[in-house]
Structure 1
């Protein structure tokens, strides 16, 4: 029975992003993708948070696995990791949460954004196998540069997972060409340099850069880092991005309402609704 469920999840996962982008293109919308830390503030509430995001209209999910040294993250997401780790959340608990989400929401694309130590500690093949069984569609490893990505891409393909690549705003033509050759699922387009955080707004790239990404036929670019308002989402999509990712702004809502779960879930749902409304082209 377990083998059948895993094979079904893998089959569906190979097409979830392409189906999402096709559906959104038909209705002339971009994608809105919120990020939260799995297990924050503890597993039961984490699952309810993810449900609220989906019910608010999230097109896909980007989820973190708590880690003690998240070098690409600012203080907001660092604190989310600390809260989850204090609740003794480990990668296995995160996969259990994802499995629950996948069982209830079979069609939504689910991506992981994490650090290489978490993958290497378990063994790369074993980690990707666990992710595939849980229903993960994509994995972005924040601290693996493009020149070292092939090892992970090959294992991702073996488990029918899309390996997500990052396109920095100052990428050379050579880098963009390589991303075009290797990218799958979507391309994470950095809105600015530095670490994550809603405090510093994204510097939405010029349409010329996104046109260049399309010239190299990269997977659809989603703009991340510093996306916190509907206006930024709208600007990103008008510039040609396929959608936007918002992490710190979403996690800020969780932190603000830690003592009032109903208010937290209501605020998260309202936030996603407002951000999603801005994706109309």
Structure 2
């Protein structure tokens, strides 16, 4: 039995624009022998294909792509007390799949990689899953993380705004916790993973919203303005986009302007 250690790379590949790849990401991709992809069903085949397009363009060394189905997750609990349990159960089953892929598809001494949308440190489960697998001590490996451009950074860039204002903090929250973050007179709020359009309950509050979906892709949609004026428009275009593509990834910044105007 080989005593060589398997090595894994968790590579941030940006919010969707292939040009978001950093030089560090490209160099890391060229080190990998195997790329692991967890598919999310036919509705999101375009995301898997975009990964393959990125590999075709940037990796000149021989490599294999190994795909597996991402396990089903109970999203009915997203707004309720069972949310954490549902996520932990999903991550455990995801770890089972990844552990098998690493054991069966990555030989000792080889390098494998996971291509992660945005930045692996921000609302992504890959790092936690690899930590779980390591703790099981069944398949020994080492791993490193290569940061990427997050959807939050890309959102600010596309709207040509700064995430923070002078001397003020920025709060990042999932949509289901937005109500706990308001009122917030000391900074601005970035909202991610908001499947329930939590912003609609804030209309009339004097808040500006900078919203974006499919950021960095040809399907990108951007909307900004006073929330009470653009909330219905965002909900409408969001519903139309979801119906057209079968899925949606969106992020937004909420900003209170003390003088009532756009900053």
> Fold conserved (TM > 0.5)?
no
Higher strand proportion, which one? Answer: 2
Give the TM-score normalised by structure 1: 0.27
